[in-house]
Amino acid sequence: MTGGDSRNIVITGVTRGLGRALALEFAALGHRVSGCGRSGSEIGPRVSCAAVDVTDEAAVRAWAREREAAEGPPDLLINNAGVINRHARLWEVPLDEFRRMWEVNVLGVFHVCRAFLPAMVARGTGVVVNVSTGAGVRGFPEIGPYCTTKHAVEGLTRSLAEELPEGMAAIPFQPGVVQTDLLHRHYGTRAAAYPEPDEWARVAAPFLLDLSARENGQSIRMPQVRGS
């Protein structure tokens, strides 16, 4: 994909952090952006934001139908919504917290793909980007449930890549370390060494727009931005 024409882009988790920054940057580049978050909010011009919880299959399907009626199938579908557990050793993580993380980080991706992919496959074009992380590949202490869900996203996406028709792509995407509220909670003052979401998005948006069938099934890491 190239960034020269206006794309129909769908992103989950756009009310804050990387999702919000990406949505605004895509819109600034002239693309049509449809986003969702658990509570819909005004994001900016050219960005439609709906109140959709990705764990609610019926709500996701209704949102997909509404967006497809308005804009057609997405050219770029980004599963960005995600949560992380509070730092704790695995045997100390509450069951409800683990379950909620699985429902958002994995089932949420599944629901969104099931809702949007049929129309994309019928058209025969489009790129699905599922946000992963290096932690899902390597593993880190005290965020085992989070690492587990992101490892699942990697496997789900690579398997999906084998199922898509020629000309489409499913890509696990590792965004690198970015200065979000989450990073400040976990890194403290060290978070200042990493790029802020808006700075990151100025590089990430064109990078994501350039992904195509040639990257199908590849786990892609975001190029370094400043201290990331």
Averaged in consecutive runs of 10 residues, what is the pLDDT profile of the chain (228 residues)?
75 95 97 93 86 98 98 98 93 97 97 98 98 86 93 97 98 87 64 83 97 97 74
Q: Rounded to two decimals, what is the model's pTM?
A: 0.93
Annotated catalytic residue: which of 116, 146, 173, 200? 146
Which homologous superfamily does the CATH classification assign to the domain defined by 8-221? Answer: NAD(P)-binding Rossmann-like Domain (3.40.50.720)
CA distance 187 to 227: 14
194 is catalytic: no
CA distance 178 to 198: 10
- pLDDT, residue 1, reads 41
Instruction: Please check whether residue 45 is in contact with residue 32, taking contact to mean a CB–CB distance below 8 angstroms.
Output: no
- Residue 221: beta bridge partners? 174
- pLDDT, residue 184, reads 56
- pLDDT, residue 201, reads 96
CA distance 158 to 197: 27
CA distance 80 to 59: 17
Domain ranges within the chain, ordered by starting residue: 8-221
- pLDDT, residue 94, reads 97
Torsion over CA of 83, 59, 11 and 88, rounded to 10 degrees?
0
- pLDDT, residue 205, reads 98
CA distance 119 to 74: 9
Torsion over CA of 75, 179, 51 and 54, rounded to 10 degrees?
70
- pLDDT, residue 178, reads 80
